[in-house]
Amino acid sequence: MDYFSLKGKIALVTGATHGIGFEMASALSKAGAKVVFNDRDAEALDRGLKAYENAGIKAHGYLCDVTDETAVTELVKKIEDEVGVVDILVNNAGIIKRIPMTEMSAEEFRQVVDINLTGAFIMAKAVLPSMLKKGGGKIINICSMMSELGRETVSGYAASKGGLKMLTKNIASEYGGANIQCNGIGPGYIATAQTAPLREKQPDGKPHPFDSFIISKTPAGRWGEPGDLAGPVVFLASSASDFINGHILYVDGGILAYIGKQP
C-alpha cells in the first residue's frame, strides 16, 4: 500500500495562485491528486493557470471570494459538477496587515479575520456535506506560528490564526467520527516573493536586520523554502495521517522550540 498516494483524489487549495499555496497544490498534484484552486482576482487567477500550465500541471481554476458564503456554495457545487467531490480542502487563502494595534481600524481588523478565519469556516462548511456522504475527507488549515506567538503590528493576523487553530481542533472533534481529519500546518518564516525585501542585503553589504533576527531565532539557521511545505501537506492529505486529527504541524525550522541564544 502506498500510504502517500493521492491518486483519484480531488484537492481544492484556496488562494493557490502563487507562493506556498502554489507549491502545496503542486505537491498534491505530483502525489496524484487533481488540483482545483480559486482566487478572488481575475488577473491573479489567469496568472495562476499559466503557472500551473508551465509546471506541467492540469489545474482547474475558479473565480471566488472565500468570504462570500453564497459564492462559495456555488463554487463547491460547480467543482462537484465539473471535476468531482472535493476529498481534500486546503484553506490557504489569507492576508496580513502589519499595523500597530492602536492605529488599526476595526474595519481592517475584521477584514483580516474575515479572510483568514471566517473564510476557512465557510469553505469547510461547504465541503463537509459531500465528505460526510462520501465517508471521509481531509481538511488542512494553513495556520501560522502566530497561532501560538504574538509580535508587534500583527494583532489581527495573530487573532485570526489563533482562531483558525481552534477551528481546526473543533472540526476534528465534531467530525472525526465520520472519518474526516482536520489538521493544520503552521509555516515559519518562508522565503517567498512577499518576504524578499526582508532578506535583501543592505547598501553596506550587511544582511537586513530582520533577516539576521529570523536566522538567529531559527535552529535550522535559515528561512524556510516553499518546498519545505510539500511533504507535510501530502502527509496530512494522505491515508498516512488517518489517525491524526486536530493537530497543528509547525514547519518552522524549530523556532517554537527555541528560547534563543543568551546575549
- Active site members: 157
Q: Which residues have CB under 8 Å from 176's CB, separation 6+?
A: 182, 245, 246
> Which residues does 144 contact at the CB level (< 8 Å), separation at least 6?
157, 158, 161, 186, 187
At 183, is the secondary structure helix, strand, or coil? strand
- For residue 29, the number of C-alpha atoms closer than 13 Å in the C-beta half-sphere is 20
Phi and psi at residue 7, to the nearest 5°? -60, 130
First to last CA, the chain: 51
Q: How far apart are CA 188 and CA 256, in angstroms?
A: 9
**Could you tell me which residues are beta bridge partners of residue 251?**
187
Answer whether 232's CB lies under 8 Å from 4's CB: no
Q: Which three cell numbers stand for residue 145?
A: 506560528
Residues 6+ apart with CB under 8 A from 156: 96, 97, 99, 104, 108, 109, 111, 112, 113
3-state helix, strand, coil in the chain (%, to 5): 50, 15, 35
